[in-house]
Structure 1
């Protein structure tokens, strides 16, 4: 019995567009030291399990005022990235499954090797930024590697015909 854990192919285009747009926004925010999110405000009251204020005061289980642009962007990135990465291809066969698995393993190794490098050579606030972006780089590495390998396979198949 074959398990179907992939999203339908029809979701791939829309999720890919949203994923690319949010990737550009998040990478721009990283290069801009995260100040990009301060330029655009969408302040609202949110429930916080834990929040540490500017002066070090801590609040737990409280409602706070917060700019939620970064949360919206991260949520869109993660959801669209998951749907894009794990949507069926037009032709979903054993080769595609193998490329998907190999790409996932490669992305995991690559992400953690890069993360270990950053652990030893970056410190302070920059390291905290790297921690935050390590969450989404795994998905980004997987999508890039998988689509690059699938492109190589399609190109090889076209050349043989």
Structure 2
């Protein structure tokens, strides 16, 4: 699929968010990130979206695409689960965990929190992410679905004890 990085389409649901809207928005983000398509992910953000990811600060869709392309070139076997922490009218707080391995086959589990702010089109204008990686043994992995979207019947973070 071809994504136009210069167009800001409305992305449902839009603020103000109900709890169900926030959960839907989170699952849509999880699905996009699990696709490992930087362009697909970037179109959920405003053209001038501001990001803080760990110790990196940048803005705009082109920067998002460059960041994600670099990230997914080294984070192999990437699988992500996101879960609602809190929300209000135009903000959503998310906790997430993802598993990945490096070129040498060392697995990691990344634990993080994100704070999101949305505009009236339902596009994210701010993303603040704090993330910690923990090395794990392959037999400690909990995310075993095939690369791509997490199956609907796969447990979430709370059910997995994460």
TM range (shorter): under 0.3
Q: Report the structure, 1 or 2, having the larger strand content.
A: 2
TM-score under structure 2 length normalisation = 0.28
| Structure with the larger helix share | 1
* TM-score after normalising by structure 1: 0.28
